[in-house]
Amino acid sequence: MAKYRAGVIGLGWMGMLYDMAERIGDLFNIDDVDRPTPELEVHRKIHHHGHPGREGLPSSYAEALWDRPEVDLVAAADRDQKRLKAFEERYGIKALYTDATEMLRTEKLDIVAVATNVKGRADLTCLAVENGAKGIVTAKPMVHTLEEADRMVEVCADAGVPLNCGAISTTHPSFAKARELITGGAIGAVVSIEAPRPGAQHQSWSYFLDSPPTWVIGIGDKERRGTGSDEFRGPGGSDEFAGQGMMVTEAELAVYFRPGAPHLRVTGTTGEILVPTMATGFKLWQDIETAAGVSRVETPWPDPQFVGPYGTVYGLADVIDCMEGRLDEPKNSGRRVAVALEVEIALKQSSARGSVRVDLPLEDRSLGLNYDWFR
């Protein structure tokens, strides 16, 4: 008998469709219920069991939950009847809802996947906790505003509910290996971190922080750009931070954001962990004693190496590991994503004010971001 009852809210791409159809260029400026549903292969099987970290793993939350032997996927909610029907046909599940609130109150779920649009995600997460959820995974971006992020993180923390916000590369076990190497002194004391952007909807750098951010300086941000629209501040695309800057933590660790930088660089006193791109994976450089003296050379990366993308599988695994006491916090936890969101907003504030220092935490929690592809 399965340990956990699970349900999915939102049967779009992350909720279900990625494992039934090829991605289409659907419109993002119309309501979910009116978006086109692609031609579905309801019973196709594109993945294989027993190959963690390799091609073929599930992409959607529905399939990832269905594949876990200790999880019983029992319900789904979506306003689109076509998608509910496809879910029922694929999984044989009859508990289908057009009202997510009704599903949460009726089904008493242990694990909830919130794969809706961004607006309302905080409310649904908090409602899931209120109705007894013990673990939650969401799609990205986490939220629009700092207030929403605060609420999600606080409610989940107070209830002891692990929260993973986004199926991104950071959920992969190779990131835990990188942190293990750093903690074990493989590159000495960490002196700086570098990334191309703060990227609150897909960040890796915040996983490697050991103390909270205290201030930032940003330059060169750009006006809102793109053609998408959302319900946070109306039409107009993304205003995610597009400049460069620096953030300093309480422990005086500097994190640099520079367009063109590698996906991640963690520099230590005796080495460096580098991810040029996620396609290349991790590289380890260490100071080695040679006949000519100490040289920094590339050394073999210990398994596991990054193979993507399939963050749904690994984010869910983190949440279950937390629920069962094997992990303290998901690698892409809501808390870490909220840190990145606040840093990104603060960098925008700094740039807009002439690149002055902006101290954290920010007082105005109504501040937020717009996203081009996401609402």
The verdict on 102 and 212 lying in the same domain is no
- Asked whether residue 372 is assigned to any structural domain, the reply reads no
Question: Is 50 exceeded by the pLDDT of residue 241?
Answer: yes
Give all strands (DSSP E) within the chain, no chain letters.
Answer: 4-9, 71-77, 95-97, 111-114, 135-138, 163-165, 190-195, 213-219, 244-249, 254-257, 264-268, 271-275, 283-290, 293-299, 358-359
pTM: predicted TM-score of the whole model, two decimal places: 0.93
State the CATH number of the domain containing residue 241: 3.30.360.10
Task: Report the Cα–Cα distance between both ends of the chain, in Å, rounded.
Answer: 38
* Confidence (pLDDT) at 267: 98
State the CATH number of the domain containing residue 127: 3.40.50.720
What is the average pLDDT value for the chain, to the nearest integer? 91
The verdict on 121 and 54 lying in the same domain is yes
Residue predicted with more confidence, 55 or 357: 357
Asked whether 56 and 48 are in contact (CB, 8 A), the reply is yes
- Span 255-291, pLDDT tens digits: 999 999 999 999 999 999 999 999 999 999 999 998 8
Cα dihedral 232→170→162→166 (10° resolution): 30
* Confidence (pLDDT) at 34: 64
The verdict on 152 and 22 lying in the same domain is yes
Range with top average pLDDT, 45-59, 113-127, 297-311? 113-127
- Asked whether residue 90 is assigned to any structural domain, the reply reads yes
The kind and range of the H/E element at 67 are helix 61-67
- Asked whether residue 31 is assigned to any structural domain, the reply reads yes
The verdict on 36 and 79 lying in the same domain is yes
The verdict on 212 and 194 lying in the same domain is yes
The verdict on 33 and 65 lying in the same domain is yes
The verdict on 258 and 353 lying in the same domain is yes
- Asked whether residue 201 is assigned to any structural domain, the reply reads yes
- Asked whether residue 373 is assigned to any structural domain, the reply reads no
- Asked whether residue 287 is assigned to any structural domain, the reply reads yes
Q: Percent of the chain having pLDDT more than 70?
A: 89
* Confidence (pLDDT) at 233: 42
Token pair 């002891």 is found at: 160
Residue 370 has which token pair? Answer: 């717009």
- Span 157-181, pLDDT tens digits: 999 999 999 999 999 999 999 999 9
Pick the closest to residue 37 from 22, 57, 53 (CA basis).
22
CA–CA gap between residue 112 and residue 11 (Å, rounded): 13
Pick the closest to residue 222 from 367, 347, 137 (CA basis).
347
- Asked whether residue 375 is assigned to any structural domain, the reply reads no
- Span 287-338, pLDDT tens digits: 999 888 899 999 999 999 998 778 999 999 999 999 999 999 999 999 999 9
* Confidence (pLDDT) at 49: 44
The verdict on 285 and 259 lying in the same domain is yes
Q: Which domain holds residue 254?
A: 172-304+336-359
The verdict on 178 and 62 lying in the same domain is no
* Confidence (pLDDT) at 29: 52
The verdict on 29 and 135 lying in the same domain is yes
CA–CA gap between residue 117 and residue 11 (Å, rounded): 11
Q: How many domains does the chain have?
A: 2
* Confidence (pLDDT) at 292: 85
The verdict on 283 and 188 lying in the same domain is yes
- Asked whether residue 36 is assigned to any structural domain, the reply reads yes
* Confidence (pLDDT) at 54: 47
Residue 336 has which token pair? Answer: 């870490």
The verdict on 16 and 71 lying in the same domain is yes
Question: Is 50 exceeded by the pLDDT of residue 52?
Answer: no
